Amino acid sequence: MKLTSLSRLKLINIAIFLSILTILWSLAEGTVSVFFGAEHESVSLLFFGINSFVEVASSCVVLWRFLKKGSGFHKEGSTDNLIAIERKATIVIGTLFAILAIGTFADAIYTLVKNGKPDTALAGLIISSISIFFMALLWFSKLLIAKLLNSSSMMSDAKCTLSCIKVTLVIFFGSLIYSVWSGGWWIDSASALILGLFFAKEGIEMILWAKSKDFDGGCCKNDSVKNNNRDDNYCGSINDCNNKECKITISS
């Protein structure tokens, strides 16, 4: 069965399921990462665990958005109440991005200044390799549901998951390099500094979009998209997000 043939209520149930799954996975991932990070004195793995808890917070916001009584999400089109809920959720997730950016900078700078080298790279390799595969599936699923529901908060959460994947890739390749060349301990921290800039940019854009008078609760950020002009700054790989193909009419 194609997702486009599902009712809006069923799509929202999928969104809720994805949020719960993300929360459970990220809690487990974060706990394991913090434990092994402390055990092997790996600052990057410790930060990775903390980053997982940011993902938990983001998914909790989306869960609140879809479970909130009176949100009007069973109806087609945008109501004032629905837009207000989407606005709050998007602002909170944008703020989480800003926190993630600050944490990324702090972790990278601390590691570089302290010349932080973990006891072993094995834990980082194992945890990150498992996480990349699972989080990629979650990200793609959230991206698709955000498109079908035309939800700003769901799209923001998908972007948060993508950011976690980027951090995971940095941990993976950093651990891989360190396992064969101990002199490359600084590479993941240097890469994290660059990621921090992108996280800050994403967070600021989300907050500005949510506060904009043009905010309609949808997954794209301005009228240029409605006119079939792409705005990849916010929509990511979901292009023309408010056009007919994306904003599908789904019966409830």
Contacts of 226 (CB under 8 A, 6+ apart): 220, 242, 243
Q: Residue 57 — very low, low, confident or very high, per pLDDT cuts 50/70/90? A: very high
- CB 155 within 8 Å of CB 235: yes
Per-residue pLDDT at 228: 40
**Dist. CA 237–CA 118, nearest whole Å:** 36
Task: Kindly state the average pLDDT of the residues 142-170.
Answer: 92
Q: Residue 143 — very low, low, confident or very high, per pLDDT cuts 50/70/90? A: very high
Ramachandran category for residue 222: left, alpha or beta (phi over 0 → left; psi -120 to 50 → alpha): beta
Task: Kindly state the average pLDDT of the residues 239-252.
Answer: 38
Per-residue pLDDT at 144: 95
H helices present in the chain, as ranges: 8-39, 43-67, 80-114, 122-149, 152-180, 187-211, 223-226, 232-235
- Among 126-130, 169-173, 204-208, 245-249, the minimum mean pLDDT is found in 245-249
Per-residue pLDDT at 192: 84
Global pTM exceeds 0.85? no
